[in-house]
Amino acid sequence: MKKQLLITLLAGLTVATQAAPLAPAQQQAQAANLSAQILTRHHYRAVPLDDAMSQKIFDRYLKMLDPEHVFFLQTDLAQFASLRSRLDDAIFQEDLRVPFDIFNLYQQRVTERLGYARELLKQDFDFSQNETYQYQRDKEPWPASQEDMRDLWRKRVKSDWLRLKLAGKDDNFIRSTLDKRYASNIARVEKYKADDVFQVFMDSYATSIEPHTDYMSPTASADFDIAMSLSLVGIGAVLQEREEYTTIRDLVPGGPAALSSKLKVGDRIVAVGQGAEGAMTDIVGWRVNDVVGLIRGAKDTTVRLDVLPSDAGPDAKTRRIALVRNKISLERQAAKKSVIQVKEGQAVRQVGVITLPMFYQDIEARRRGDKEFKSAARDVARLLDELKKEKIDSVLIDLRNNGGGSLDEAIELTSIFTGVGPVLQERNSRGDIKVDSAKAPRAVWNGTMGVLINRGSASASEIFAAAIQDYGRGVVIGEPSFGKGTVQTVINLDQMARNEKPQFGELKMTIAQFFRINGGTTQLRGVVPDIKFPTVSDTEQFGESSYDNALPWTQIKPAGYTPLGDLSRLLPVLESRHANRIAKDKDFQYLLEDLRDVQAQRSKRQLSLNEAERRRERELREARLKQREEGKDSDAASKGGKAGHQAAARKIVPQDAGLQAGERSLSEELADEKAQKEAKDVWLDEAARIVGDTAALLKTQSKLAARNSASGSSSGIAETGRR
């Protein structure tokens, strides 16, 4: 494609965001070109950047911008049609006006649709009509005409209004709340910067090759490093945008903000200044991530904040606070331990639970030779030593919603339970296979163990769970996992280009596929638990199988390894006990009932806009909840004492308040979060019981084996973890 023709096509693309259209920077075009050179040559699934790939990028870009097909019209798509095969030229010619002009039109359409939504709030709605609103539209066509689009948004606004009406809100409250919501959405899209557009476009390219290849801007790269190292340099405040104000949502214990006692939850930051005398920058209306960029900085430097107290009006006098930045350890995201008591007749077993949110590692500290670098595996080993002192009988590793992280940490964590031996196999794009082995001289924990996973357990979590399963080292419990069986590396584009300052960002690129030591792979199918829990997640929307370009499942030869145990003969007994127990567990049955309701609603993909019908549905749900609570109150009252008093004081909470994040008071949001954290975790409790059953059965079998051995025979079952 000649450059002149590309310019002509651009000129023909109607873009109405004339006030301040976003345009690409030269370094972004250069970064895109360099990324293409790397991806087309070195990716595990290297594919050429040609017209065919351009069409895939184009379609994915539109999907990322308008996933529910509620902003663009089919006429917009027709206007774009001649550009579908031009994005490869745009990248190679370092001219990114095509994706930027598409985004500018998207920005205009968002403003138009939400502006129309705000106009609709001036009228009344008739909720006696038998209408439905299709709230999941990813599989629906884009509206064909302005009339179709207006009708779609009329139903969308009507649905938002009805939710609030069913929650008991009056018309004035509903109008005000929805008007603020739509205005806030307009303001949010108007705050997009060129970096954001470039990020979305490059992700469209990267994920068109394979789902787990990503582009990371310099800002995104910094956030990735923070997540992996569990540390940053700043003041230790969790910030949230609330009605144009950057609001303090939480304070990190031990951080400069908390230690100063000058800030509290709910305070609003209105200006930020650097150093002792730097100019103050007004940040009202800024995006939170931009404010964070101002507040973070080098260790031992000063940042000044103008703060509006939480209980003050918008015109109140602000306070100026100076804080010295320091290294903040994000301990709340680190591994944690607890103990669950499992009763079996008169016996009580102590199950030590270790919750691991991700496989973190401070890579930079490790490179510097810091022997105390942050490490998930080392933290777990330390927690296990503490649990041993608490005389636990078995261990449960909770990896729910652990999306992965460091491959090295997954290997090291496995060795804590298996000692020396293979953990996984890797195959690169040339077909070469290497075996990654644990090098720990001995296992830290040789007793009974289990692993709890769900659909959100991915990558490194799957490596660990699969290895524990293949070694026969422990029982795996929960939902089938995500199904990500690929290995990524991070490539610093600025280092490749020899840039003195960060400009280009980084590529997180798939370079290999990993395989279990038994020769299978977790790719696409995930880890299938030994004891399965009902599937909670929407597998059509979440998980490797939901991607249209995921790598297929395959297998290779097993690695040379020796199983450490055999739980296969115990599984039927464990499954039977589990089934009998949950059949009698009211909380578990309530959960299954709610899950069936959610799945039924998912299958509909639409909501009734008839008030009477929705009220009947809501009243049925609330009656069911009330009946449950009354049953709990009755059970607690029969036990008497404090439990009975607390049960009597409990109130029924409405199911759906119709409000989004940031629309309720901060105190209400924090109270709800606290209640959710303190709520009974039905899945975790049952997983602990299964691990307790495993320990009891292994102990019985061990005694039986000893008796049989004395009489010259063997049961053929070894206690898990015996070396």
Percent of the chain scoring above 90 in pLDDT: 73
pLDDT at residue 634, rounded to an integer: 63
Q: Residue 401: left (phi > 0), alpha (psi -120 to 50), or beta?
A: left
Tens-digit pLDDT profile for residues 386-437: 999 999 999 999 999 999 999 999 999 999 999 999 999 999 999 999 999 9
| Dihedral, 584, 589, 592, 594 alpha carbons, nearest 10 | 180
> Rounded to the nearest 5 degrees, what angle is found at the Cα of 532, between the Cα atoms of 529 and 535?
110
CATH topology for the 334-563 domain:
2-enoyl-CoA Hydratase; Chain A, domain 1 (3.90.226)
pLDDT at 712 over 60: no
The residue with greater pLDDT, 711 or 56, is 56
Neighbours of 221 (CB within 10 A): 21
Percent of the chain scoring above 70 in pLDDT: 91
- What are the residues whose beta carbons fall under 8 Å from the beta carbon of 498, sequence distance 6 or more? none
User: Mean per-residue pLDDT for 543-558?
Assistant: 95
pLDDT at residue 645, rounded to an integer: 39
User: Mean per-residue pLDDT for 84-98?
Assistant: 96
pLDDT at 612 over 70: yes
**Nearest C-alpha neighbor of 693 from the set 579, 527, 592:** 579
- What are the residues whose beta carbons fall under 8 Å from the beta carbon of 296, sequence distance 6 or more? 232, 233, 234, 325
Tens-digit pLDDT profile for residues 654-704: 467 888 888 888 888 888 888 888 889 999 999 999 999 999 999 887 654
Average pLDDT, the chain: 89
> Rounded to the nearest 5 degrees, what angle is found at the Cα of 269, between the Cα atoms of 264 and 273?
120
Model confidence at 296, pLDDT cuts 50, 70, 90, reads very high
Q: Is the entire prediction scored with pTM above 0.75? A: yes
The residue with greater pLDDT, 619 or 32, is 32
pLDDT at 3 over 60: no
Q: Which two tokens stand for residue 380?
A: 């777990």
Q: Annotated active-site positions, please?
A: 459, 470, 484
> Rounded to the nearest 5 degrees, what angle is found at the Cα of 528, between the Cα atoms of 527 and 529?
110
DSSP 537: S
pLDDT at residue 555, rounded to an integer: 95
Tens-digit pLDDT profile for residues 442-457: 899 999 999 999 999 9
Measured between alpha carbons, how far apart are the two ends of the chain, in Å?
66
Q: Which two tokens stand for residue 488?
A: 């990524």
**Contact present, 480 and 528 (Cβ < 8 Å):** yes
Phi–psi pair at 328, nearest 5 degrees: -110, 125
pLDDT at 650 over 70: no
Strands 394-398 and 347-355: parallel
Tens-digit pLDDT profile for residues 591-610: 898 888 888 888 888 999 99
pLDDT at residue 718, rounded to an integer: 29
Model confidence at 633, pLDDT cuts 50, 70, 90, reads low
The residue with greater pLDDT, 3 or 621, is 621
pLDDT at 566 over 80: yes
701-to-14, 199, 719 alpha-carbon distances in Å:
75, 57, 8
Neighbours of 142 (CB within 10 A): 19
Neighbours of 194 (CB within 10 A): 15
pLDDT at 578 over 70: yes
Tens-digit pLDDT profile for residues 531-542: 999 988 888 889
- What are the residues whose beta carbons fall under 8 Å from the beta carbon of 611, sequence distance 6 or more? 127, 128, 162, 165, 166
Going from N- to C-terminal start, the domains of the chain cover: 3-209, 231-329, 334-563
Superfamily in which the 231-329 domain is placed by CATH: PDZ domain (2.30.42.10)
pLDDT at residue 432, rounded to an integer: 96
Tens-digit pLDDT profile for residues 205-220: 999 999 999 999 998 8
pLDDT at residue 625, rounded to an integer: 83
pLDDT at 15 over 60: no
Tens-digit pLDDT profile for residues 136-168: 999 999 999 999 999 999 999 999 999 999 999
Q: Which two tokens stand for residue 721?
A: 């973890």
pLDDT at 653 over 60: no
